[in-house]
Amino acid sequence: MEVTCNPNVHDLNNLWNIEENVFPKLPNSSFEIYGPNFVEKFLESHTVMFQGNSGLKPKEGEITSQPWQWPINFKGQHFSGGKPRIYLLGNPVVFWGNLVALVCYFTLCTWNSFQIKRGYSISPNVRARRDKTLEACGWLVLAWGLHYLPFYAMGRILYFHHYFPALLFSSMLTGVILDYLLESLPSMVPQYLSSSVYPWLTGLFYSTLIYSFYLFAPLAYGMHNLDPSFENSTVHQIRWLDSWEF
Residue 188 confidence (pLDDT) above 90? no
Q: Taking all residues of the chain, what is their mean pLDDT, rounded to a whole number? A: 82
**Residue 163: domain span:** 77-221
Residues contacting residue 68 through CB under 8 Å, at least 6 positions apart? 74
CA pair distance 55, 216, nearest whole angstrom = 35
- pLDDT tier at 219, thresholds 50, 70, 90: confident
Residue 58 lies in a domain: no
The percent of residues in the chain predicted with pLDDT above 70, rounded, is 84
Residue 214 lies in a domain: yes
Domain count, the chain: 1
pLDDT tens digits, 40-59: 888 988 888 877 777 777 67
- pLDDT tier at 155, thresholds 50, 70, 90: confident
CA pair distance 214, 12, nearest whole angstrom = 52
pLDDT tens digits, 98-142: 999 999 999 999 988 888 888 788 788 888 888 999 999 999 999
The more confidently predicted of residues 175 and 29 is 175
Measured in whole angstroms, the distance separating CA 44 from the mean position of its chain's CA atoms is 25
Report whether 212 contacts 93 (CB < 8 A): yes
Residue 229 lies in a domain: no
Residue 80 confidence (pLDDT) above 80? no
Residue 234 lies in a domain: no
Residue 132 lies in a domain: yes
Burial 171-186 (b: 16+ CB within 10 A, else e): bbbbebbbebebeeeb
Residue 168 lies in a domain: yes
Report whether 132 contacts 31 (CB < 8 A): no
Residue 180 lies in a domain: yes
Residue 104 lies in a domain: yes
Report whether 141 contacts 177 (CB < 8 A): no
